Structure 1
Amino acid sequence: MTKFEDIKGFIFDLDGVITDTAVFHTQAWHQIADEVGVQWNVQLGDALKGISRMDSLELILKHGNKETLFTEAEKLSLATTKNNNYLMLVQQMTSANILPGITDFLADLQSHNYQLALASASKNSPLVLEKLGLSSFFQKAVNPATLKHGKPNPEIFSRGAELLNLNPAQCIGVEDAAVGVESINAANETSIGIGDPEILADANINFEDTTRLTLANIKFSMNR
């Protein structure tokens, strides 16, 4: 594994790492599932983590054996409705929605001259960062509209390293979803998984929650 001293940049997922918008996504997708008559359960909600809007809709329809019942135009309309529902919920966000320890960690990274980039599949990430008051930390962000492939493909994290003008080996990616960790690893970057170590077993480093995400803990994990 790369040595801590070689790291120059950090590339962050948004949902479940910086803030928990997953609860809003879940709420909005649940409404869509109800609308199309698909039975919702926790497993379905978990399966949608970290994947794009249209891929999420396809999963929901497949879950209810309804993937052939809608035209592409109808699917786009459903995805738009979901997004509108989600945006209404996001408008209520404040800095109180930042996950514990994240503001201090970002400030520490900045003070140590690490470069930061955002690698979120969400097209709404600029709005979320603005509501959280964290936009200044992320001058560089991958535009998901420019991507050809979703996670677990490495494209989004590879693009993050390019934005920072860094070699992938000089970057750490931070994720809370298994598909995200897979994406980081495939991009040849060091992966940090936030959450259940069994679900995120492929992560190079695992922290059960964001309070453990500190430079000291990362250095210890990489150099032991």
Structure 2
Amino acid sequence: MSIFKAAIFDLDGVLVDTAKYHYFAWKRLADTLNITFTEEDNERLKGVNRMKCLDIILEIGGVSLGAEVKLELAEKKNNWYREYIHNMDKSGLLAGAEEYIHKLKSQGVLTAIGSASKNAKAILTRTGIIEAFDVIVDGNMVQNAKPDPEVFVKCANLLNITSDKCVVFEDSQAGIAAAKAAGMKTVGIGSEEILCEADFIFTNMLEVELPLF
């Protein structure tokens, strides 16, 4: 039996296959600005909020824009992203994700979403797993982006669980850093090279087995 009391999941790239849609939307925006934006560049955007992502892309292109224009561009990107995810359904879940969450629930582990996405609830609804989570904290509920620990601290507070009893599942360096700053255990989902600071690393959710800690 696992000793952790709560599991907090990032959404994009951990439970659902939406990371590609973010990349498509950001690349589409970068193209309109004549900025070369690659999949390698996109790694810097994982786990980061929308405005910070835009700042990174502008930095890559050496472009400086005013606050009002940046807000318009960020909204344009989000509209494109929402177009891409509009037809998502259960097939958008990553392999093993739903099964693992239900396994945790059957063992009495609390579950939460801690995501920078402002579309998290819509995605969870479309993929049919929103009811599996006790708490959902998304980009509409926090001020500070990962690696700031705010999103995970808020999850723990809403779950009424201390940080040391939480484990965070993340696919980004920023997310792992945020979880560690919150005093939580970490499981990296993805590349060992990128997620080397995590306590455990698995290629995907199919590989994750209980107990972890």
Which range, TM-score by smaller chain? over 0.9
Instruction: Give the Cα separation in 2 of the matches to 1:106 and 1:6.
Output: 16
Asked if 1:56 is matched to 2:53, the reply is: yes
**What SS class does the counterpart of residue 123 from structure 1 fall into?**
coil
- Give the number of equivalent residue pairs: 213
**What SS class does the counterpart of residue 127 from structure 1 fall into?**
helix
Asked if 1:194 is matched to 2:202, the reply is: no
Unpaired runs of 5+ in structure 1? Answer: none
Q: Which amino acid aligns with 1:38?
A: I
Instruction: Give the Cα separation in 2 of the matches to 1:5 and 1:28.
Output: 39
Once the 2 structures are TM-superposed, how far is the Cα of residue 215 of structure 1 from its aligned partner? 1.8
Asked if 1:105 is matched to 2:132, the reply is: no
> What is the match of residue 165 of structure 1?
160
Deviations 1:137-160 (A, max 9, x none): 124111423323111111111111
Instruction: Give the Cα separation in 2 of the matches to 1:93 and 1:146.
Output: 23
Asked if 1:83 is matched to 2:93, the reply is: no
**TM alignment of 1:28-177, pairs within 5 A:** 28-66=25-63, 68=64, 70-177=65-172
Asked if 1:14 is matched to 2:30, the reply is: no
Deviations 1:145-198 (A, max 9, x none): 332311111111111111110000111100011110111111111100011112
Unpaired runs of 5+ in structure 2? Answer: none
TM-score by length of structure 2 reads 0.96
Q: Does the aligned pair in 2 maintain the 1:173–1:192 contact within 8 Å? A: yes
Q: Does the aligned pair in 1 maintain the 2:23–2:39 contact within 8 Å? A: no
Q: Which amino acid aligns with 1:42?
A: E
Deviates more, 1:136-145 or 1:181-190: 136-145
Instruction: Give the Cα separation in 1 of the matches to 2:60 and 2:181.
Output: 28
Once the 2 structures are TM-superposed, how far is the Cα of residue 130 of structure 1 from its aligned partner? 0.6
Once the 2 structures are TM-superposed, how far is the Cα of residue 28 of structure 1 from its aligned partner? 0.4
Runs ≥4 residues deviating over 6 A: none
Return the match for 2:22 from 22, 25, 36: 25
**What SS class does the counterpart of residue 146 from structure 1 fall into?**
coil
Deviations 1:88-116 (A, max 9, x none): 11111111111111111111111111111
Instruction: Give the Cα separation in 1 of the matches to 2:70 and 2:195.
Output: 31
Q: Does the aligned pair in 2 maintain the 1:117–1:163 contact within 8 Å? A: no
Deviations 1:176-223 (A, max 9, x none): 11110111111111100011112111101111221112324x2xxx3x
Q: Which amino acid aligns with 1:89?
A: Y
Q: Which amino acid aligns with 1:107?
A: H
Instruction: Give the Cα separation in 2 of the matches to 1:134 and 1:33.
Output: 32
Asked if 1:183 is matched to 2:178, the reply is: yes
